[in-house]
Amino acid sequence: MKLTSRKLLIGFGVSLLISTSTLTSNSYAASPRINYLLYCTGCHSANGSGTPPNVPTLRDELGRMMSVPQMRSYLVRIPGASQAPISDAELTEVMNWILEEFNSDTLPKDFRFLSTAEVSAARKDPLADPLKYRAQYWNSYED
C-alpha cells in the first residue's frame, strides 16, 4: 500500500513539473489594461483624465501629439512611464493601449503604433522637467 501511495505522489510531482515547465513567463504577464491600472491610475485616474497641468490628461490630446516626432518619445520619457517596474515590451503595450483606448479619434491618419525598440531607446533618457519639454515641443497649459 505504501509503495502505491509513493508511486502516486511521485507521478503527481512529475506531472506537476512537466505542466509548469511548459508555461512561459508570458503566461503570467498582465494585460496592458491591468498594467495601466497598476502603474498609471494613481496619477491619471482610471479614465485617463489626470489633473492638468501637473498631471496631464491622457484623453484625446495624446492622439494629436503623435503628429509631432518629439512627442512620441515624450510619452515614454516622463518619469512615471520611464521608471515603471515593467519591461520595455510591456510599457510599449501600455502606451499603445492608452493611445488606442483614450485617443483613437484624434490619432493622425498615418499613425503607427510605438515599437518596443522605440520605447526602449526613449526610456533610457527620462525627462527631468516634462512640463518644460512639453512647452517646447507641444504647448503649455498656460497658453
Average pLDDT over residues 116-128: 96
- Average pLDDT over all residues of the chain: 84
pLDDT digits (tens, 9 = 90+) for 5-45: 655 555 555 454 444 444 444 556 689 999 999 999 999 99
Percent of the chain with pLDDT over 70: 77
- 21-25, 51-55, 62-66, 90-94, range with the lowest pLDDT: 21-25
**DSSP symbols for 38-104:** HHTHHHH-TTS--BTTTB---SSHHHHHTTSHHHHHHHHHSHHHHT-SS-HHHHHHHHHHHHHHHHT
pTM: 0.77
Domains present along the chain, CATH in parentheses: 30-137 (1.10.760.10)
